[in-house]
Homo-oligomer: A and B are copies of this chain.
Amino acid sequence: MSVTIVTGASRGLGLAICQLILKKDSEAKVVAVARSGDQLSDLAAKFAPRVLSIAGDVTDSSVVKQTVEKTIAKFGRIDSVVLNAGLLDPVGHIAELNVDHVRRLYEVNLFSVIDLVAQTLPYVRETGGNFLFVSSGASIKPVDGWSAYGSSKAALNLFCASVSEEEPKVRTISLAPGTVDTAMQQDIREKFKSGMKPEAHKRFTDLHKRQELLPPDVPGTLYANLALQGIPQELSGKYFRYNDDKLTKYAA
């Protein structure tokens, strides 16, 4: 049996990862963390007693602390942590960025991640477990209007490498899920148009029009398999895109 904590678990990629873990391994336990507890109730009802739902904001360190305490109290161990909660906003050109909005993005995309890794590390060391960071292609190649998001994901990649460097007993991976058909993509199409140049924005509306957005299960399967089977040593600390050849065996 294995225990995986997933943040941003109420929808999209995070929800898909939870469901896939629970379906693929009938012994697996999932701790689903999300701001909105309501959206976790379906998952909890379907897979109880293998699901522990935590309603709370991961940028609140007391929520992170409670998550760890409740996980240990209920399941006794932590094998994997999927750091999925993330924010794209603020989308906008650099001359117009509101630095307070950048700070808020970093609270979600980086500082809460560092907090959760720091607080779970003693337990993940014990199981020789895994940290899976949800990264982005925008961490490697900048996307117009996404400097706050892209830089936070570049920071995440280096943080992932740092955990692997410092902690020989754990494995880590920073994995970009591709362009997935989630609420974030809907926001890009509708809400964030004004913050991007037309041609940069069109790339995303075109992907949607041509129905080329990935179903959440496609990258979700990779995270679920890596969380359940463990990240191989030769991939640890590194960044990959979901369709990298080195990940083929985890794609089904």
Smallest CB gap from A163: residue in B: B94
Smallest CB gap from A115: residue in B: B99
Of B95, B99, B121, which one neighbours A95 at CB under 8 angstroms?
B121
Answer yes or no: A220 CB below 8 A from chain B CBs. no
Q: Do residues B167 and A94 form an inter-chain contact, with CB atoms below 8 A?
A: yes
Residues of B within 8 A of A118 (CB): 94-97, 99
List 6 additional contacts besides A99-B118, A142-B158, A151-B155; criterion CB under 8 Å. Answer: A94-B163, A95-B118, A96-B118, A99-B111, A103-B111, A141-B161
Query: What number of A residues sit within 8 Å (CB to CB) of B?
Result: 45
Answer yes or no: A30 CB below 8 A from chain B CBs. no
Residues of B within 8 A of A61 (CB): 99
A99-B61, A114-B94, A117-B94 are known contacts. Are A151 and B156 too (CB-CB below 8 A)? yes
Answer yes or no: A146 CB below 8 A from chain B CBs. yes
By CB atoms of chain B within 10 A, which of A96, A114, A122 has the most?
A114
